[in-house]
Structure 1
């Protein structure tokens, strides 16, 4: 995770928790459905504020551990998902023993890692037959106003990776399987602004650029008639991938 944007999110941890969408339970359950019944430990890497951690805990009866490079994000996670052990670390350097976990999942995070180094390190801590699960919530840019919003905010590294064909996974994992879910999320103007504020491009942008993006967003929302507490349905696509350790 050498890109400074990858570790910028703690500056907007509250907006990240409030405005980023939750993961559909069905998608998370699908990522983990090939685990054996006796799976004992699951790890959420790049766990952030716990958006994925809490769904994993609901989907499987096993110990869940959270790892993130940002201690500020982990502090928020402990507030929202109490009782989950947290550790500072990255996908390329996990603070876990060899062959100690049954699954590792990453939500909105694999695009920040070195896929070869991360695959090898996750393979080190995972028992044979375990699952690597990768998941992203992405706005559906096939819808005109959503495509215009994305152009204003700038496409994310995740969107660019998904558009290019999806994630790369290396040894000791096999070729990943993929599935997708489409759904709608009602959002207010304020929620859309908070979502934008939680994105790495805005966090690391100059104040002038942030002001320009906010103004262009407001112009679009005015055109859409999105005022006050009114909501607009934001179309999302959840992409999930799972790969088994050899």
Structure 2
């Protein structure tokens, strides 16, 4: 994907900031703990940057864990939702390529469903700049568990705009070798480690459709095409025994890649 296409998709979320805040899932606490586990503690409390923080889905898990977290998010509408939900968290305008923090100011940098939007040629050195030596960079992705039959069918019916190239466990695993952490450069970061953690969300058909409607590919679709895609998803969920009636458990995983600043 060309960088201008990435930029267009990544900037689409502000138009749906409230829906994103309401319907996107949080992150498995075990995954967050693993993402941060090797980070050095340069002070009494671990200092963590949530980069590309969006509406604060990952920020909230970090804040609840007791770390000192600062959020950086470029979109003002997304940042406003974050500040509304988490008024005690410092939220700054900025992006991965231009981080508004001093050199060596954090022990860990994390990114929740955001690292694939970064231009790592510029972001890698910038992330390394704000990390202390030995600091940790971790990317986390919430993905659907396509080892479950009805999830495989959902991905097929929904199409790539709603369930994209790293939005299922199988696709995320397949893409890992060419994913984002290794591109930060061998001179700055060590080899990447990978792990996955089971994550479950309670959903209804309506709330799952609403969540899928906040995907970047869906947000940039022409209105008629988006309505048609969402109608197909609704029809599929209505036809499946697992999802046709009331609340159900959505099988997911939080995948994590982490690396250490050298």
1:168 aligned residue = 180
1:198 aligns with 2:214: yes
Match for residue 60 of structure 2 among 51, 54, 78: 54
Quote the residue 2:19 is aligned against.
15
Alpha-carbon displacement from aligned partner over 1:106-160 (angstroms, at most 9, x marks no partner)? 0001111122322111001111111111101100122222122222142325335
Counterpart secondary structure, 1:173: coil
Cα distance per residue 1:219-243 (max 9 Å; x no partner):
1022115456x02221101101221
Matches within 5 A, 1:31-110: 31-37=35-41, 38=43, 39-62=45-68, 64-110=69-115
With normalisation by structure 1, the TM-score equals 0.92
Q: 1:25 aligns with which of 26, 29, 44?
A: 29
1:181 alignment counterpart? 197
Q: Which runs of 5+ in 1 are unaligned?
A: none
Cα RMSD of the aligned pairs, angstroms, is 1.8
Cα distance in 2 between the residues matched to 1:162 and 1:80: 32
- 2:9 is matched with 5
| 1:61 Cα deviation after fit | 3.2
For 1:158, the equivalent position in structure 2 comes to 166
- The whole-number CA distance in structure 1 between the counterparts of 2:127 and 2:75 is 19
| TM-score (structure 2 length as normaliser) | 0.87
Q: Contact 2:53–2:73 at 8 Å: present in 1 too?
A: yes
Structure 2 CA distance, aligned partners of 1:173 and 1:70?
28
Q: Distance in 2 between matches of 1:245 and 1:101?
A: 12
List, as ranges, runs of 4+ consecutive aligned residues in structure 1 with deviation greater than 6 Å. Answer: none
For the residue of structure 2 that corresponds to 1:165, the secondary structure is helix
